[in-house]
Homo-oligomer: A and B are copies of this chain.
Amino acid sequence: MRKQSVIDMVNEHHRPPSLLLGFGNVGKELVLLDDFWNMTEVLGILSSSGGVKTNRKERVEAIREAAKTSAKLSDLPFFQKGLSLSDFIDELSGGVAFITIPPSYYSGEPNISLVLNFLKNGISIITADKTPFALAYSKVIEASRSSKAFIGYRATVAAGTPFTDLAKGLRGRSITSIKSVLNATTNFLLSKVEEGKSWEESLELARKEKLLEPDPRIDVEGIDSAAKLTIISNTLGKGISLWDVRRTPLFSINEEMVRRALKEGKRYKYIASYSFDGGNPTVSPQLIQRGNPLYDVRGNYNGILFELEGSEHIYLEGPAGPAWRTARVMITDLIEMLYSPR
């Protein structure tokens, strides 16, 4: 069904030129998708030190083989050191950049400038990198509106489950609060502590499972959750920035508190929440009662609860990632870009 529907939707469109930035987990999964090559005219792939041009069929095959391994882009025989954006920017006009570079939450750069520059040049973006949306949401939107370039950022929040679509569909509604579980790594750490492990042992296990960010503060001090909450809030129409979110580290609670809660029929969750009646956006460990749908959000799942007027609620849950799913979500963005009726 997947193939057929995608092709049905876009078959009357030309294939826009495209460029991939980043050749990490998500970038590699993207080049393994036929739709990426079929739906766009891929010009090349860039990493931090250079890149490759993908103008020959045998190169495409070599890239896809490399993507199945831990190879770097620079390991490819046709890698050109120093190849950069400026070598593609003219040809990329009217096309789309797929951005899978690491976040840069502290300075925001070069991530923000990169995106604004694409948009100013009329180049659409489809990104898995949260940085520009978490730090400069309204600037990005404005740049997109001026140049009519498309922005796809479904992959930045709970990639795998359309949290941003839900938020978009609630604009203008009376939402009283958001309460959410937006980080799978802290789910993992909490469940290990519930099973009797210490924080340190749990961290070690997470590192072995490759669940931790290179900088673990991004997970355990709530930066990742805060970035996602920021993007959801902005999509809903509430303008905040990442550093407006008050964060309490996961480790502010001890192991005994986690295990005692479980015995009492509750669970600690690392909750990103925002109460719109004057409260501040926060990320902190919170006790969740059994019966609250967030109680059961575990493993690689994320969940979000919107409270509405009249004690009603809207609840969405689903898997976040892994990388192959994040790549597919970027294809969903591409379908919207090509298919969108306007």
Contacts and interface: CB of A to CB of B under 8 A. Distances in A.
A222 B154 CA distance: 34
Contact of A165 (B144, B165, B277, B334): B165
B319 A312 contact: yes
Contact of A172 (B35, B151, B237): B35
B169 A154 contact: yes
A10 to B, nearest CB: 9
A235 to B, nearest CB: 11
A210 interface: no
A317 B318 contact: no
A174 interface: yes
A139 interface: no
A187 to B, nearest CB: 15
B316 A308 contact: no
A56 interface: no
Of A175, A308, A315, A335, chain B has the most CB atoms within 10 Å of the CB of A315
A332 B161 contact: no
A8 B141 CA distance: 13
A314 B316 CA distance: 7
A172 B314 contact: no
A312 B318 contact: yes
A341 B145 contact: yes
A141 B237 CA distance: 27
Contacts of A334: 172
A339 B174 CA distance: 18
Given A1-B238, A238-B1, A312-B318, A328 B173 contact: yes
Contacts of A328: 172-174
A162 B163 CA distance: 11
A28 to B, nearest CB: 19
A35 to B, nearest CB: 7
A314 B317 contact: yes
Of A141, A164, A169, chain B has the most CB atoms within 10 Å of the CB of A169
A313 interface: yes
Contacts of A1: 174-175, 238, 276-277
A189 to B, nearest CB: 21
A302 to B, nearest CB: 10
A292 interface: no
Nearest to A162: B169
A72 interface: no
Report the 9 A-B pairs with minimum CB-CB distance, sorted nearest first: A162-B169, A165-B169, A314-B318, A5-B237, A165-B165, A1-B276, A145-B341, A144-B341, A316-B316
21 contacts: A1-B238, A1-B276, A2-B174, A5-B238, A8-B239, A9-B171, A9-B172, A148-B341, A162-B314, A165-B166, A165-B169, A170-B332, A172-B331, A172-B332, A172-B334, A174-B328, A237-B335, A312-B319, A314-B316, A315-B315, A342-B342
